[in-house]
Amino acid sequence: MRPSGNSDGEGSKGTPDGEWSMRWALLSGLILFALVAAIVAFKLVHHSTRPAPVAMAAAAPAPAPNVEPVSIPKAPVMSAPPVAKKAIVATEPAPVSPELLTPQQLADELAKIGQGPITPGQAARFKADLKELIRRGAASVPAIQALLQENFDESFGTVKGGDELGYSGLRSSLIDALNQIGGAPAQAALLQAMNTTAVPDELLQIAQDLDKQAPGEYNDEIVSNAQAALAMASAGQLGTNAEVGPAYRTLQNFGSANTTADAANSDPVDFYNAVQLANMPNGQGLSSLVQMEQSSTGTSQAIATDMIAQMAGQNADALTALAQLAQNGQISQNEWLQIAPILGGAQYQMNSAGDDYTVENPNLTADQISQRIQMLNTFMNLIPSGTGGYKALQQQITTLGGQMGN
């Protein structure tokens, strides 16, 4: 408790109590200062000892130690054995079944058979395509007709494997397809093919097919085309080695019932005798031929007339005898069809053995051609114009004129 002062003013002097108060206040200030200084110092010390932030930059790599290189022997490298590459073979797509192809596509496939060699697979496909084409019937006729109109053919006879196809050539197979199809459209296509071909064996095949479908209906067209083929052969337009036998057989089979072929088959003795008489030198066999013509009938009479016509181009008496027969109307129109190419130069000849014959077309000189043209004109004046015989004679004149360059 603080001592009270006296009222008489003695309190102006320091008393022991007042001195203590001053000391206490001074001590308190020092203690407070020391406490503040300690806090400040602590903070300063704590701040200075905080670790510095670590730099994020990558430290430079330490230099590699300088080590002397050591030579290490390398083990031999064993290469793997080479692997053979598989040959890449181009495979064709599987062929489409014939049943899925159109008639035109089937015809196109037939035309691709090529010139061989022909494999068994190709032969089987060819037969399958042809069979399907025939099965389609009349729908196939336009495609077959278009291919025939191209006048393109592939011969199978000399090609390896060609015998597996069953036909001598592409056109023969197409003609047979038309024959198997039958009907008016097929007949029209066959007739068109016959009118545009000059190949004798093809002509004979078509003639036989047409006659099978419509007996006798196409005889005039058949004979006319046979005459045209023979005329072209006489003019050398079918080549030097053309086989004209089928054209003669066509003419003989469809031109008349009394033909040279009939005589050769039904009466070979008279046939070969007549041919031999016609080829005797200096016309020595003419009288016997005239006698044969007058005393016989049928095929024997026909072959006698043909052989007189053969001699007429070289013998005046034979020409007179033939003209007499023509004036008397003893030569039928069908017989004229066969006589015409003989008057144009065709010659029946016997072989050396005397048991077979050939029909030859010798080369004629300009004078011989002129003589035969004059002879043909003479006979044209003896028969009605417009008939089959007249046209056949006229065709021979045209052919001979072509040989002279007219």
| Domain ranges, ordered by start, for the chain | 97-196, 220-406
Please give the C-alpha separations between residue 121 and each of 96, 108, 164, 201, 235, in angstroms, as whole numbers.
14, 17, 10, 29, 43
Higher pLDDT, 229 or 262: 229
Rg (alpha carbons) of the chain, rounded to whole number: 61
What token pair was written down for 74? 């390398």
The yes-or-no verdict on residue 103 having pLDDT over 70 is: yes
How far, rounded to the nearest angstrom, does the alpha carbon of residue 34 sit from its chain's CA centroid? 124
- For residue range 45-94, list pLDDT tens digits in order: 555 444 444 444 444 454 545 545 444 444 444 444 444 445 444 455 66
User: What is residue 67's predicted lDDT score, i.e. its pLDDT?
Assistant: 47
The contacts of residue 113 (CB under 8 Å, 6+ apart) are 122, 126, 154, 156, 165, 170
Query: Does residue 12 carry a pLDDT above 60?
Result: no
Work out the burial of residue 144: count CB atoms within 10 Å of its CB; fewer than 13 is exposed, 13-18 middle, 19 or more buried: buried
Do residues 94 and 157 make contact, with C-beta atoms less than 8 angstroms apart? Answer: no
Burial zone of 125 (CB within 10 Å; 0-12 exposed, 13-18 middle, 19+ buried): middle
Task: Give the model's pLDDT for residue 405.
Answer: 61
Model pLDDT, residue 143: 96
**Of 13-17, 167-171, 299-303, 394-398, the least confident:** 13-17
pTM of the model: 0.49
Using H for helix, E for strand and C for coil, what is the string for the chain?
CCCCCCCCCHHHCCCHHHHHHHHHHHHHHHHHHHHHHHHHHHHHHHHHCCCCCCCCCCCCCCCCCCCCCCCCCCCCCCCCCCCCCCCCCCCCCCCCCHHHCCHHHHHHHHHCCCCCCCCHHHHHHHHHHHHHHHHCHHHHHHHHHHHHHCCCCCECCCCCCHHHCCCCEHHHHHHHHHHHHCHHHHHHHHHHHHHHCCCHHHHHHHHHHHHHHCCCCCHHHHHHHHHHHHHHHHCCCCCCCCCCHHHHHHHHHHHCCCCHHHHHHHCHHHHHHHHHHHCCHHHCCHHHHHHHHHHCCHHHHHHHHHHHHHHHCCCHHHHHHHHHHHHCCCCCHHHHHHHHHHHCCCEEEECCCCCCEEEECCCCCHHHHHHHHHHHHHHHCCCCCCCHHHHHHHHHHHHHHHHCCC
Mean of all residue pLDDT scores within the chain = 79
pLDDT at 136: 95
The reported pLDDT for the residue numbered 10 is 44
- pLDDT tops 70 at residue 17: no
Rounded CA-CA distance 248/200 in Å is 8
Contacts of 366 by beta carbon, 8 Å cutoff, 6+ apart: 404
Does pLDDT of 383 surpass 80? yes
Q: How far is CA 56 from the centre of its chain?
A: 83
- What is the mean predicted confidence (pLDDT) over 262-281? 80
Q: For 390-399, what is each residue's pLDDT tens digit?
A: 888 988 898 8
C-alpha 222 chain-centroid distance: 30
b/e string for 14-29 if b means 16 or more Cβ within 10 A?
A: eeeeeeeeeeeeeeee
Q: Which residue has the higher pLDDT, 302 or 34?
A: 302
18 confidence band (pLDDT: 50, 70, 90): low
